[in-house]
Amino acid sequence: MNFYPIVKRALFELEPERAHHLVMSGLALASRTVTLPRLLGLLAPASDPRLAVDAFGLRFPNPLGLAAGLDKNGVAFPALAAMGFGAVELGSVTALPQPGNPRPRLFRLIEDEALINRMGFNNAGATAIAERLAALRRGASGAVLGVNVGKSRAASIDGAADDYRAGLTAVWNVADYLVVNVSSPNTPGLRTLQRTEPLVELLRVVNDLRGSLGHKPVLVKLAPDLDGAELADLVDAAGGAGATGLVATNTTLARDGLTSAHRSEEGGLSGKPLAGRAMRVLEQIKGRTALPVVAVGGIWSSQDAIARLEAGADLLQLYTAFIYRGPEVVREILTGISAELDRRGLNSVTDLRQPR
């Protein structure tokens, strides 16, 4: 039985960030035990070996991951992993601890099945989070762990490379893969790093760290608001400078077709309205590069997930659908993909990809 609609009604009576903290506190408590993650595992769908994906040197038990943004401080990896996600991406974390932007900074657009946030990378800092993850990982298994790293607000754009170096160094050894976030709209100036020269400089830092700390897959997360030429330049630059893959996409500044009262709030929009824009970016990227792509943005159902996989996505992520639909969305999407493999007589989720 799916109890989340009852829980959701209670949570949606609360201010969004208060509800978020309440949920994360519960998941953090569960993650510090052995028994509670096992109970949460009852929500997960049955394992299907056909859903396993090999990407950038890692084996994912299934293609569906939780996007960065929910667990910013790395407090709930065991509990989230137990729900059936193939990967859990934590953060964004920054080299320096920071409170983020002033409240209110998180808004539900219920009529549009969307969120707007301008959180501003609020987190405890990469060093503290790395120490926490080192302990929590001992009690978790199954899902791949990603850590998303952003720029500290106190760091200048000119000093961004050194700031990313510090943040990446702190979490390097506790993550299975890392993501360089240069596309959040909520840190002033951050998206200027989505230009060829600054991005190449950041990836030089990544390559230096690979030489000193050991190889690690490092992906670049891109915005959905780039025009075609900008996107092409960045994809080429990322591939040429050593990025292992791309995450497409972050939240959008666009407000097309929204009806909710909060539609004019500043910040990044996520959820259903982002789906078309995120799909177009995915198709443009896959038409230009062989780099693995994690597709995120507006994935709400198994049909959405299958469409992204057909368009060439190697892996998937969701966040806003988890807020609106709860853990049941993981089961629905994964069982839906398995059913589609049955219907087509396919042996692997990667066989859904349409030839180009």
- What is the residue type of 54? D
User: Based on the number of CB atoms within 10 Å of its own CB, is 257 exposed (0-12), middle (13-18) or buried (19 or more)?
Assistant: exposed
Q: Are 92 and 122 in contact (CB under 8 A)?
A: no
Q: Are 267 and 109 in contact (CB under 8 A)?
A: no
Q: Would you call 184 a catalytic residue per the annotation?
A: yes
Set 184, 270, 302, 338: catalytic member:
184
- Cα dist from 303 to 2, 25, 33, 172, 242, whole Å: 20, 32, 35, 35, 33
Alpha helices in 214-274 (DSSP H): 228-241
* Alpha carbons 227 and 254: distance in angstroms, whole number: 13
* Alpha carbons 118 and 103: distance in angstroms, whole number: 9
* Alpha carbons 325 and 36: distance in angstroms, whole number: 21
Q: Are 152 and 94 in contact (CB under 8 A)?
A: yes
Contacts of 203 (CB under 8 A, 6+ apart): 180, 218, 220, 238, 241, 242, 243
* Alpha carbons 82 and 77: distance in angstroms, whole number: 8
* Alpha carbons 182 and 222: distance in angstroms, whole number: 7
The dihedral built from the CA positions of residue 79, 308, 260 and 107, taken in this order, carries a sign that is positive
Q: Are 335 and 88 in contact (CB under 8 A)?
A: no
* Alpha carbons 311 and 344: distance in angstroms, whole number: 17
Nearest to 67, CA basis, from 160, 152, 164, 184: 184
Catalytic residues: 184
